[in-house]
Amino acid sequence: MRMIGHLATEMSARTFGDYLYVQGIENRVENQEDGWAIWVTDEDQLAGAARLLESFRANPADPRFQAKARSAENLRAEEEKRQEAYRKRLRDRRHLFRPLTAYGFGPLTFALIVISAIVFFVAKFGMEPQRVMALAITSYSFEDTSGPPWDSSLPEIRHGEVWRLITPIFIHFHILHILFNMLWLRDLGSMIEGRQSSTYLLALVLVIAAGSNLAQFYFGHAPNFGGMSGVVYGLLGYVWIRGKFDPASGLFLHPSTVTMMLIWLVACFTGILGPIANYAHLVGLMMGAAWGYLASLRYR
């Protein structure tokens, strides 16, 4: 903002200020010892505004100045309406996903939950997973239990179906499976979106999903797995470690929550809870914790 000159009276200064405003030149009028100063906001408009000021000084009674100045009030009223409409749209977008927790419901988190629910319904509530085989890490019938007929080199991915690295996270096999995963995803994902960004959460989900799915495939020795739990454990590890070493990040998990999830992780490995993608859980947790620690180094 730069001052372009002074005018003797408040009335003349405000008339000229209104005239500049109608011309699209943002300005401010200020009372000073030398008179009423005219300040121009955009320095690229200084030269033009200065020329108009000289013209105004030469003939302040010129009808063009008076006529244009009178329309300034209408323009300001229209601008205020536009600003209010913008603020309303902004509030509406912010409240599109009403808070389920203190940090709200993230849009990406919501989208991941919706996709998972759609896949669950297409698979007939997990009873017919072969209907969503295009999302599995490799083509393999979940009904075939005769042995390992699949190719461990993942030929579909090598031939361009790279989405299979990620999409097993959307396959769930029963109602409790998807329910608990979605509840955890809602809280952890929304926390990361609220404290950081949707883009950051997307990067976490993609990387952790690919890593945990590959780990489950190669260490679990079977392609018939699915679920968001590997990503959930990854987000848990990220929030836990990032919040521990970088409290200013706003990420936090209560120690009892972490303890409960670690106990569940160990219990799943015992086999008493049935077939579970344990390696996806473990590798997801390790990847998320490592990411959280490395990210915290920048701010420590």
User: Domain check: are 40 and 120 in the same one?
Assistant: no
User: Domain check: are 118 and 231 in the same one?
Assistant: yes
State the pLDDT at residue 149: 60
State the pLDDT at residue 135: 92
Q: How far apart are CA 116 and CA 185, in angstroms?
A: 11
- How far, CA to CA in Å, does 20 sit from each of 25, 71, 77, 253? 5, 11, 16, 55
State the pLDDT at residue 142: 57
51: containing domain = 2-93
Strand pairing partners for 2? 40
Q: How far apart are CA 200 and CA 208, in angstroms?
A: 12
Q: How far apart are CA 271 and CA 244, in angstroms?
A: 31
Query: Among the three residues 58, 93, 128, which one is the final residue of a domain in this structure?
Result: 93
- How far, CA to CA in Å, does 224 sit from each of 148, 151, 196, 217, 294? 11, 13, 34, 9, 33
Give domain status of residue 267, yes or no.
yes
CATH code of 67's domain: 3.30.70.2350
**Could you tell me how many residues make up the chain?**
300
User: Domain check: are 57 and 151 in the same one?
Assistant: no
User: Domain check: are 188 and 85 in the same one?
Assistant: no
Give domain status of residue 99, yes or no.
no
Domain count, the chain: 2
Distance of CA 69 to the CA centre of its chain: 44
Looking at residue 82, what DSSP letter applies?
H
Q: How far apart are CA 277 and CA 217, in angstroms?
A: 9
Rounded to the nearest 10 degrees, what angle do helices 198-220 and 107-122 cross at? 40
Residue 285, token pair as written in the block: 């947790």
Q: What pLDDT tens digit does each residue of the chain (300 aa) get? A: 788 899 989 888 988 888 898 888 888 898 888 789 999 988 888 889 999 999 999 888 888 787 776 677 777 778 788 888 777 665 555 554 444 455 678 899 999 999 999 999 999 998 888 899 899 998 865 555 455 566 778 888 989 999 999 999 999 999 999 999 999 999 999 999 988 899 999 999 999 999 999 999 999 877 888 999 999 999 999 999 999 998 888 888 999 999 999 999 999 888 887 788 899 999 999 999 999 999 998 765
User: Domain check: are 190 and 128 in the same one?
Assistant: yes
3 state SS of 40: strand
Residue linked to tokens 């690295």: 165
Provide CB contacts within 8 A for 119, sequence distance 6+.
Answer: 132, 135, 170, 171, 172
Query: Among the three residues 93, 123, 140, which one is the final residue of a domain in this structure?
Result: 93
Give domain status of residue 123, yes or no.
yes
User: Domain check: are 116 and 87 in the same one?
Assistant: no
- Contact call for residues 194 and 247 (beta carbons, < 8 A): no
* φ and ψ of 118, to 5 deg: -60, -45
User: Domain check: are 185 and 72 in the same one?
Assistant: no
User: Domain check: are 88 and 143 in the same one?
Assistant: no
